[in-house]
Amino acid sequence: MKTLQNTSDFKKKALHWANQFDVCCLLDSNEYKDSYSEYDFIIAAGLREDLKCFGGAAFEKLKAFYETHQQWLFGFFSYDLKNELENLQSENSDYLSFPDLYFFVPEYLIAVKHGKIEVLLGDPSLLAEIDAFKPALSTKLPALDVKQRITKGQYISKVELLKSHIIRGDIYEVNFCQEFFAEHAAINPVQTFEILNQVSPTPFAGYFKFHHQYILSATPERFLCKRGSKLISQPIKGTARRSDMPEEDEQIKTALRNDAKEQSENVMIVDLVRHDLTRSAVKGSVKVDELFGIYTFPQVHQMISTISCELDANLHFIDAIKNAFPMGSMTGAPKVKAMELIEQYEETKRGVYSGSFGCISPSGDFDFNVVIRSIIYNAVNQYLSFQVGGAITYHCEPEKEYEECLLKASAILKVLGVESYQK
């Protein structure tokens, strides 16, 4: 174990070094204090073994893959794995073509905690190689023509239709998303991620390279974490803008904490997550550790709740992930009907967006984020995409929901050189 003199400089070199490989992953807490995170950041690179699934018993295959290797695994779950968990299908357009599930055993693994660096896989001489690595000089990002898949008018019309389903009693809440995209986008993924991570540092940020496909994520949300026998989920529901004026910023934060509409949206998802965890829990162990916690990030304040349970010893931990997937904060309630309506009213297949990526340790502990506030990129067809959305409830106002979408998109739009977006 070695002490780092300059953590950010090492992280930059290590990411550029890792990006030379066909497959790599960075998970970065950006030094947010979190009692469940095992490392401040961890970088996996190179490929020993991997598992790629395009639907069909993907979770069972992952279980077998873990049992075969019982080694560090890094990977992602696509939102559309829902189709093998429920009687659902996805027929919307897909321009990114990610697998439904992908995991790999890395050749090299480096972790940092409190400025102490550890080589978990590979020779310790690796550190000198990374330290001597010269990242390519940064270049100005190309100007991208970012478009919306649907217009503001179409968005508002769809929200009104979803509200009619709520009035009929089909659902209580649904997470409805819209896509922003750019074609012919010749970006440098590492450099773009670095800028995103500077503009919007978040506790579950990450970079995932899968050959020519990339996830560049500034997500603030944890999907599910396992530490020992404990499962932890931390759904986000409730968003408010930031202000440059400290007094006003504090007032906005207080207003979010006391907003009855945001609280009702949050508690619906808390109930949904409690139900999902109950399927994997020791009877009576599911509890809400924190309700309506307010957390501050560079662009927004967020309302985050924490739910935990003890994992039933007779259940494989992969089944616990399966039982909670997709995450309630990105679906709605009741979950299956909400997912049906998502397919009906959204225009683009979600794919890895609103899915999850993260890692599994040799002991079976794991930590997975929610893929939001993220750029998804296919370098072969030069298609770049990011989606934003929010909770649609009976009390929501379509115009305000649209404004919240633009607020959530603001960091990515800034990174891509789009200073304002009012289309």
Q: How many residues does the chain have?
A: 423
Q: CA 262, CA 393: separation in Å to the nearest integer?
A: 10
Q: CA 392, CA 373: separation in Å to the nearest integer?
A: 18
232 CB contacts (<8 Å, ≥6 apart)?
A: 36, 222, 224, 225, 226, 289, 306, 307, 308
293 with 303: CB under 8 angstroms?
Answer: yes
The active-site residue, picked from 173, 179, 194, 221, is 221
The active-site residue, picked from 158, 237, 349, 408, is 237
Give the number of other CB atoms < 10 A from CB of residue 85.
16
CA trace torsion 301, 307, 313, 317 (10° rounding): -30
**Catalytic residue flag (residue 248):** no
Angle at 18 between CA 13 and CA 23, to 5 degrees: 160
**Catalytic residue flag (residue 11):** no
Closest to 317 (Cα-Cα) out of 67, 105, 75? 67
Q: Read off φ and ψ for residue 158, nearest 5 degrees.
A: -65, -40
383 CB contacts (<8 Å, ≥6 apart)?
A: 95, 96, 181, 182, 183, 185, 377
Q: What is the residue-wise DSSP string for 320-389?
A: HHHHHPSPGGGSEESHHHHHHHHHHH-SB--TTTTSEEEEE-TTS-EEEE---SEEEEETTTTEEEEEEE
Q: What is the residue-wise DSSP string for 123-185?
A: -TTHHHHHHT--PPPP-PPPP---EESS-HHHHHHHHHHHHHHHHHTS-SEEEEEEEEEESS-
206 CB contacts (<8 Å, ≥6 apart)?
A: 25, 26, 27, 28, 215, 217, 219, 357, 358, 369
Helix 152-168 to helix 398-415 angle (10° resolution) is 130
Known catalytic residues are 221, 237
